[in-house]
């Protein structure tokens, strides 16, 4: 997950992942310039966060909790 501590949507997505006991790596774009470049590449030129990259190669940018949870269920990472 690419994000920043000041980002409300990032905190919301992190909270959901934590509540479902989903392991993830948080990459702070404020601390890592290459992470900013990766976010812009993934988003076709936009610096929108959070960007959550999944093991199947897909990603979600600024997902709602419903969309993120649906993806996690689809991937078999949670049943909730």
- The set of long-range contacts for 30-33, using a CB threshold of 8 Å and a minimum separation of 24, is 30/4, 30/5, 30/6
Kindly list the distances between the CA atom of residue 8 and the CA atoms of 29, 45, 67, in Å, as whole numbers in the listed order. Answer: 14, 21, 17
Instruction: Show the DSSP H helices in 1-80 as ranges.
Output: 8-19, 33-42, 65-74
Read off the pLDDT of residues 12-64 as tens digits, 9 standing for 90 and up: 999 999 999 999 999 999 999 999 999 999 999 999 999 999 999 999 999 99
- What pLDDT score was predicted for residue 59? 98
Contacts for 8 with CB less than 8 Å, ≥ 6 apart: none
CATH number of the structural domain spanning residue 18: 3.40.30.10
| Structural domain boundaries, residue 64 | 2-74
Count of structural domains, the chain: 1
79 lies in a domain?
Answer: no
| Residue 34 buriedness (CB in 10 A; 0-12 / 13-18 / 19+) | exposed
């Amino acid at each position: 997950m690419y994000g920043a501590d000041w980002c409300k949507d990032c905190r919301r997505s992190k909270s959901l992942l934590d509540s479902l006991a989903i392991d993830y790596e948080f990459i702070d774009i404020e601390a890592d310039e290459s992470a900013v470049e990766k976010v812009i590449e993934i988003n076709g030129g936009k610096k929108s966060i959070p960007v959550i990259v999944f093991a199947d190669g897909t990603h979600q940018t600024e997902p709602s909790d419903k969309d993120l949870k649906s993806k996690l269920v689809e991937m078999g990472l949670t049943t909730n």
